[in-house]
Amino acid sequence: MSLLPGSAVSEGENDMAGGNFNGRSPRMPAFPTPTWPGIAPRPVLPGAAGVLQQRLVSPPAAPLRPGYTVPLAIPRGTLQMRPALPVPAGGTTIQMAARARKKKVKRDPLRILTPRERRQQRINTVREIIESYLVKQMSHLVYKKAIHRSKLFAGVKRRIVHPVRMSSERLVVRHIATALLAQDPGMTEVQTAISHKSRTIYIASNSKQSVLEGLVAGDLSGLSVPAPSGHPGREGRHMTKLQREKAGPYASYKLVVIKGREGQHAETKIVDAVAAFDYIGGTRRPCLACTLYMLQKGVAPSKFNPHPGAYWNSNQALLSFGSGSGDVGASVSGIVRRPDMPFDTHYVSEGLASSKMYDYDTNSETEEEAPLRRSSRLRGRKG
């Protein structure tokens, strides 16, 4: 809106325009309706419409410039609104933007995708396969709850996993992961893989990879382990066992930190970087997406926990599928259709709190009275 040339607005008139009517009703103007020479009088509109008429101080003293309208026959001191600008042939900016959103953008098939676009395309492909086949078509997974910005799905069949007797390499990787994660839970998860051939223990975390590097150096015998007394329950039990293992057959195994994309699940970082290992584990079972990824990469089911955890439909859970080449859709589709894959089962470790039941690894049988079993590969090998 703009004033006509030579016009001004008084304080009282501003109050009038802003809604302060000084006790006068907007439906009943307290002033007469004057007329100007040569202009047909028009009454002030009653009610709210009349309130919207803003006041001119005086009629124009000179012919109006192009773009102004002849003022209505309204009381002295009333402002006149400028006319609306002509609408462009293509419509207003808002109208054109709305049409652009509705219009499907056709991607040039000859355009080369950026690495980021290619990675996200592969992630979206895997997400569609899992959610379409396992969630919708087969109803193997049911929605449980929202966690942050992602959703949690679990198998339709509930199965309690009781403590089991574990080999020494499976125990040591779990104990190392527990001790490291307890020192900085911000790492989210720590996974560890052991290779007897190279006498190496590979360690990775989901987040805070620089913190993990500061905690790991040298071999297992030199790993700093927190005092078990300050960590009751599972954590303290694992730390106590790890203290003994530091002087056991794996004491000279070299510790190596594996890094990857921030947020990427730890076990998939190790699988991407290490060609061969004997077992991989941590405080948690591999989630459904990580289980699919390890099977896609050719890792034998005997080398990780056979009971997959829940499925999160987050980018972090599927980040590992973004790298590599080949038809990721075909390979993942073949895995989810395998009859031997227990994707319809929701595994719950016995004795765990409900907040941890979806993903925490199975408890082992108590080893306090029984000595640790060495795997068949280590029998006869010097520690």
- 221 vs 223: CA distance, rounded Å: 6
- 342 vs 356: CA distance, rounded Å: 20
Q: Say yes or no: 258 and 340 in one domain.
A: yes
Helix axes 115-129, 328-336, angle to 10 degrees: 20
H/E stretch holding 190 reads strand 190-195
Q: Say yes or no: 72 and 166 in one domain.
A: no
Q: Say yes or no: 32 and 168 in one domain.
A: no
- 122 vs 326: CA distance, rounded Å: 10
In a domain, 382, yes or no: no
Domain range holding 67? Answer: 1-83
Query: What one-character DSSP code corresponds to residue 201?
Result: E
In a domain, 138, yes or no: no
In a domain, 126, yes or no: no
| Count of domains forming the chain | 2
In a domain, 143, yes or no: no
**Could you say which of 28, 49, 83 is where a domain stops?**
83
Residue 155 backbone zone (phi > 0: left; psi -120 to 50: alpha; other: beta)? beta
**Could you say which of 24, 48, 83 is where a domain stops?**
83
The two three-digit tokens of residue 379, written as one number: 């029998």
pLDDT tens string 160-186? 888 888 889 999 999 999 999 999 999
Distance from the Cα of residue 101 to its chain's centroid: 24
**Could you say which of 83, 102, 125 is where a domain stops?**
83
pLDDT tens string 99-138? 776 665 556 666 788 888 899 999 999 999 999 999 999 9
- For residue 139, pLDDT over 80 is answered with yes
**pTM greater than 0.85 (yes/no):** no
